[in-house]
Amino acid sequence: MRLSAVAIAAAALLAGCGSGQSLPAQAPPALSKAPAEQIQVANGPIIIGPGPTPLAVKLAAPDMIRMPFHRQPRAGLLFDLDTGRVLWRRNPTRLLPIASLTKMMTALIVAANARPAELVHVTKEARNAPGSRVGLLPKRKPVRVESLLYGLLLPSGNDAAHALADKVAGGSRSFVGLMNAQAQKMGLSCTHYTSPDGYIDAGNHSCAVDLAALARAVLDNPRLARIVGSL
């Protein structure tokens, strides 16, 4: 049995991020079985889907373990990475702001649509993205997609998020449309995105059960699993 370290991190971050306000709880996500499809954006067709039915987590069974906390998180989830069975939960469908956990979806869409060696021209707007950044991104020299994915997932670079959004969809606004389409395709009914980086939480939210499914999808992708496993 492997326990998802990403799920544990999600529980901790959900406990502390945002303004402290939460939204009404949602029903657990319904799973999509539709095949992959394409969305047309300025840079050409973008792949979304399919819904990762085998990667959803299973809320039906009772918790197997107890998790004592000195201070209870507002929401969280611990699950078996191999089977998706939930071992412990607290408010698993409670809507909360997700900050940089947003970047899990950003990474999934980039990995599906850009090869590692493809080059990205980093715009001034991407270099000046507020919040956490990779930093030192060149003004004129292109950067490999894979290097930016490392910068996205390890130091949580907002500049990398916007540069990759530009590469894949021609801009952050179009990329956010892809993120929400992919969330719908995956049956993530708690989840809504307003940016590729999560720096501003207004309208950018999810719940622990959706984040667990996203974590399984990231770790099921060998390319992304290699990046997050390099810490």
Using CB atoms within 10 Å of the CB of residue 172, give its burial: 0 to 12 exposed, 13 to 18 middle, 19+ buried. buried
> Annotated catalytic sites, by residue?
100, 103, 156
Rg (CA), the chain: 17
Decide: 157 and 230 in contact? Cβ < 8 Å. no
Decide: 60 and 174 in contact? Cβ < 8 Å. no
**46 beta partners:** 39
Q: How many CB atoms lie within 10 A of CB 132?
A: 17
Nearest to 91 by CA among 216, 1, 210: 210
Decide: 164 and 145 in contact? Cβ < 8 Å. yes
- 85 SS3 class: strand
